[in-house]
Each structure stands twice: as C-alpha cells, then as structure tokens.
Amino acid sequence: MGKNPNKNQLTEVWGDTVNLKELLIASIIGVVITMGAYLIGRHIFSGMPDLSAGVAKGYALLVGICGCITSGAISAKLFKPKRVFFESQPDEKLEDILLAAGITAEEEAAALSIMDPEIIAEMEELELYSLLSLIPENSPNFKPIYKEKAVKA
C-alpha cells in the first residue's frame, strides 16, 4: 500500500488547523507580494523630488501594507479553511465540556448570572440552552424557558 497523495498533513498553528504545504505557499506569496509592493513603492516615491525622504518611506510602507492585504486576500481565495466544526455532540456531557474549557459548571453559572443581556440574547439566538439552563433562578438573566428548551435539545 502506497501513500495517499491526497492526504493532507494538517497541524495546529496559533489555534488554527492548517495544511503545512499551503501555509508555506501562502507565506511565500505574502513575502513576495508585500516586499515587492514595498520596494516598488520605495522606488517610485524616492524618485519624487517634492517628497522628503521620511514621507517617501511612509508612502512606500503604505504600498507595502496594501501588498500585504492583497496577498492575504489571494491566499484566502486559494486555500480554504481546514477546521471542522461539530455543532453538537450528544454523547458529551456539558460538565465534561466545561471542564475541558477549564471552568466548572458552578463558575459558568456565576458568570452567566451577571453576563450582559446582549450576550445572553446572542446565546439564545445560537440556541445554547444547555448553558443558559445553568443560570441561577435569583439572577436577572434567568428565564424558566431555558430549562425546558435544554431538556428538548
């Protein structure tokens, strides 16, 4: 059995999953376009007699930054994200998920009880009722419907 040529070599870099080959290609694209834009800008603006050297370098830097943004857009078009997002995992318990995140259910309940109502509304939109059901009854964020909807989910 030979190696699968379509097999991606994925790794985690700064909390994101990437293909190492694509990361290398994207880095090369970024360096070439960014530095190319900067050097072209420096050549153009340093040849203008009306501009001081400092202003010419500043403009060249802005052109380089535009090159950086352009290379980022090109890389984003060429290489799609590799992350996999699972919306729900019914076999996992909420307490296990919270512990993996480094917080206990009691700490999460305390945080939710004083959380900004706008964030609670966003959590409702995302239907995170299992988390919202942790809110204590004496909290202004408490709604009895959370426990009902958490059971249904």
Residue in the block written with tokens 């930054």 = 65
Helix, strand, coil tally for the chain in percent (to 5): 60, 5, 35
Backbone φ, ψ for residue 136 (5° rounding) = -65, 150
CB 56 within 8 A of CB 42: yes
118 vs 90, higher pLDDT = 118
CB 133 within 8 A of CB 150: yes
* Range of 57-71, 75-89, 135-149 with top mean pLDDT: 57-71
Cα distances (Å, whole numbers) of residue 73 to 34, 36, 82, 92, 110: 12, 16, 17, 37, 41
What's residue 90's pLDDT?
Answer: 60
The per-residue pLDDT of the chain, averaged, comes to 85
Percent of all residues in the chain with a pLDDT value above 90, rounded to a whole number: 36
What's residue 68's pLDDT?
Answer: 97
39 vs 6, higher pLDDT = 39
Q: Would you place residue 117 in the very low, low, confident or very high pLDDT band (cuts 50, 70, 90)?
A: confident
For residue 40, pLDDT beyond 60: yes
CA angle 80, 82, 88 (to 5 degrees): 125
What's residue 29's pLDDT?
Answer: 97
Q: Would you place residue 1 in the very low, low, confident or very high pLDDT band (cuts 50, 70, 90)?
A: very low
Q: What is the domain partition of the chain in residue ranges? A: 10-78, 95-152
Q: List, in sequence order, the alpha helices (H) in 47-116.
A: 53-78, 94-100, 105-113
For residue 31, pLDDT beyond 70: yes
Does the model's pTM come out above 0.75? no
Largest Cα span, the chain: 73
Backbone φ, ψ for residue 134 (5° rounding) = -75, -15
Q: Would you place residue 104 in the very low, low, confident or very high pLDDT band (cuts 50, 70, 90)?
A: confident
How many Å apart are CA 153 and CA 145, to the nearest integer? 12
> Which tokens hold the place of 62?
């802005």
Residue in the block written with tokens 């609670």 = 120
For residue 16, pLDDT beyond 80: no
